[in-house]
Amino acid sequence: MLAAAASLLNVPISILDVGEDTPAKQVVVPRAPLTHVDGPFTSPEAIRKLAAQVDVLTIEIEHVNVDVLDEIQRATGIEIHPSPSTIRMIQDKYIQKEHLKRNGLPLADYVAVERSVEGIKKAIAQLGLPLMLKSRTLAYDGRGNYVLKTQDDAAISAALTALADRPLYAERWVPFVKEAAVMVVRTREGIVHAYPLVETVHKDNICHIVFAPFRAPGGVSTRAELIAEEVARTFDGAGVFGVEMFILEDGTVYVNEVAPRPHNSGHYTIEACYTSQYENHLRAILGLPLGDTRMITPSSIMLNLIGTSTDPAPMLAVAEKALTVPGAHVHLYGKTGCRKGRKMGHITIIGETDAECRDRLRPLLETLAASEG
């Protein structure tokens, strides 16, 4: 999606990813002398090969080798966005929380945890049960989270096994009524613009549906958008930041976590906003004027197409159904190999009212339910 936005702006790009034919590489043919690079995001050689070709380097996943990015920035002075220091901070969820807390942002209580039965008991004494245990690093789509419901040794041992070999921290359980997110675009100079607050609905810890905008009473949306802008102000470097949030019964907003890149819950911006998160990410990192972040349609819904097994047929049935639904836009990513829990594509619905969008979503959910059996 970033590659598609770059193509429209006539920005030549080179992509680093494992494989010759990965989704982004299918979208743009590199323009000579650029070439795409084949290798993992952790490989120093691959990252150096990419950096040697470009003036501006950005990331779409934060689990990259940040030491090499640091070294490249010092040695060459090329623009890297967000800055390696931001990526490093966000890679460790505990350090990320400490940073947000230092900056006065609203968070659920959390504590560092020593990897032992005693260490976890200490966290339970501080934060109570249920306790949300989290891996500090390499976590996504709920992989890295463990909900501890009782404090007997067996349950704690099971948690330690589930999160084996990971540095841990713990959070107080948040009894949120809704989950939400705000995309924020930040210029190189630190000017920030929020997209509207959206409601995110998760299934098995994976973002399943996004409703845009979030319909909340009492100024919750404005408050959440201002908080998200404040979050983005605290991180160095340009680009889009995805700020995940919890909304409590009384309208309290907590920041859950931050992604230093365009985010799944901002996919709706492609069809539903004046300027998509991808185009604005590019504009921001290239130092171009930013586009308008407002919606151009009163209502929008994004449905993720998530693999249910190695068989892509169920999610393809939903995509096919979407072709018959007015206002529905199909995005299939061209990933090879469907897997349970793998994001294979998404559908964005736009409409004149929330009710119209929900009516348009219904046949897609029915197809999904039928194909899942």
- Per CB under 6 A, the list member of 30, 119, 142, 363 interacting with ligand ADP is 142
Q: What residues from 275 to 304 belong to the interface with Mg ion (CB under 5 A)?
A: none
Exposure string of 81-112, with b = 16+ CB inside 10 Å and e = fewer, is bbbbbbbbbbbbbbebbbbbeeeebebbebbe
Q: Per CB under 6 A, does 109 bind ligand ADP? A: no
Q: Which of residues 237-266 bind ligand ADP (CB under 6 A)?
A: 244, 256-257
Region from 120-128, 171-179, 212-220, 222-230 binding ligand ADP, contact rule CB under 6 A: 171-179
Which C-beta is closer to ligand ADP: that of 171 or that of 230? 171
Q: Tell me how far apart the alpha carbons of residues 358 and 300 are, in angstroms, rounded to a whole number.
A: 9
DSSP code string of 78-105? -EEES-HHHHHHHHSHHHHHHHHHHTT-
**Which of positions 214-253 make contact with Mg ion (CB under 5 A)?**
244
336-369 CB burial, b ≥16 within 10 A, e <16: eebeeebbbbbbbbbbeebebbeebbeebeebbe
Least distance in angstroms from the C-beta of 140 to ligand ADP: 5
Closer of 132 and 184 to ligand ADP (Cβ): 132
Residues touching ligand ADP, count (CB under 6 A):
17
35 binds, among Mg ion, ligand ADP, none (CB under 5 to 8 A by kind): none
Decide which of ligand ADP, Mg ion, none touches 132; Cβ closer than 5 to 8 Å per partner kind: ligand ADP
Q: Which residue in the set 116, 205, 222, 353 belongs to the binding site for ligand ADP (CB under 6 A)?
A: 205
Return the one option of Mg ion, ligand ADP, none that residue 210 interacts with (CB less than 5 to 8 A, by type): none
Q: How many residues bind Mg ion (CB under 5 A)?
A: 1
Residue of 239, 224, 236, 232 lying closest to 290 (CA atoms) = 239
Contact mark string toward ligand ADP, 172..191, x via CB under 6 A: -xx----x------------
Euclidean distance between CA atoms 257 and 238, whole angstroms: 18
Q: DSSP string covering 111-161, please? A: EEE-SSHHHHHHHHHHH-SSEEEEESSS-BTTBTEEEE---SHHHHHHHHH
CB of 161 to Mg ion, least distance (A): 23
Can you tell me the distance from the alpha carbon of 284 to that of 319, in angstroms, rounded to the nearest whole number? 32
- Let me know: does 346 contact 271? Beta carbons within 8 Å: no
Residues that bind ligand ADP (CB under 6 A): 108, 132, 139-142, 144-145, 171, 173-174, 179, 202, 205, 244, 256-257
Residues that bind Mg ion (CB under 5 A): 244
